[in-house]
Amino acid sequence: DHEKMMEEMEGMDGHMSHINPIALNDSTGENELAIPPLLEQKNGIYHIAAQLGTTEIFKSVQTETYGYNGSFLGPVIRVNKGDTVTFKTSNELSEPTTFHWHGLEIPGEGDGGPHHLIQPGKSKDVIFTVNQEASTLWFHPHPEGATAEQVYKGLAGLIYVEDENSKSLALPNDYGVNDFPLVFQDRQFDDKKQLNYKAVLNEDGTIGDTLLVNGTLNPKLTVGKEKVRLRLLNGSNARNYTFQLNTGDSFQQIATDGGFLNEPIAISEITLTPGERAEVIVDFSKFNAENDISLVNEAGNILLPFKIGEHKTRETTKSLENLNDFAVTDEERNLPVSKRLELFGMGMHVTINDKQFDMNRIDFTQKQGETETWEIYNKPDAMGGMIHPFHIHGTQFKIVSIDGKEPSASLHGWKDTIAIEAGQTVKLAVKFNNKGIYMFHCHVLEHEENGMMGQVEVN
Name which position in 220, 277, 391, 415 contacts ligand C2O (CB under 6 A): 391
The nearest distance, CB 296 to ligand C2O, in angstroms, is 26
The nearest distance, CB 139 to ligand C2O, in angstroms, is 8
- Would you give the binding string for Cu ion spanning residues 359-388, x where CB under 5 A is met? -----------------------------x
Residue 447: its H or E element: helix 445-449
* Alpha carbon distance 267, 385 (integer Å): 28
Interface size with Cu ion, residues (CB under 5 A): 4
| DSSP state, residue 38 | B
Task: Show contacts with ligand C2O in window 93-122 (CB under 6 A).
Answer: 100, 102
Nearer to ligand C2O (CB atom), residue 100 or residue 187: 100
Residue number of the CB atom closest to ligand C2O: 102
User: What residues contact residue 348 under an 8 Å CB cut-off, 6+ apart?
Assistant: 203, 450
* Alpha carbon distance 60, 64 (integer Å): 13
The nearest distance, CB 416 to ligand C2O, in angstroms, is 8
- Would you give the binding string for ligand C2O spanning residues 135-164, x where CB under 6 A is met? -----x-x----------------------
Name which position in 195, 441, 452, 456 contacts ligand C2O (CB under 6 A): 441
The nearest distance, CB 274 to ligand C2O, in angstroms, is 8
* Alpha carbon distance 70, 272 (integer Å): 27
Binding segment (CB under 6 A) for ligand C2O, from list 52-60, 237-245, 333-341, 438-446? 438-446
Question: Is there binding between residue 412 and ligand C2O (CB under 6 A)?
Answer: no
The nearest distance, CB 237 to ligand C2O, in angstroms, is 11
Nearer to Cu ion (CB atom), residue 21 or residue 53: 21
**DSSP letter string over 139-176?**
EE---TTTHHHHHHTT--EEEEEE-HHHHHS-----BT
Task: Show contacts with Cu ion in window 397-456 (CB under 5 A).
Answer: 442, 444, 447
Nearer to ligand C2O (CB atom), residue 211 or residue 445: 445
Q: Residue 80 pairs with which residues in a beta bridge?
A: 162
**DSSP letter string over 305-374?**
EEEE-SPPP-S--S-----------HHHHHPPEEEEEEEE--GGG-EETTB---TT---EEE-TT--EEE
- For ligand C2O, the binding residues (CB under 6 A) are 100, 102, 140, 142, 275, 391, 393, 439, 441, 443
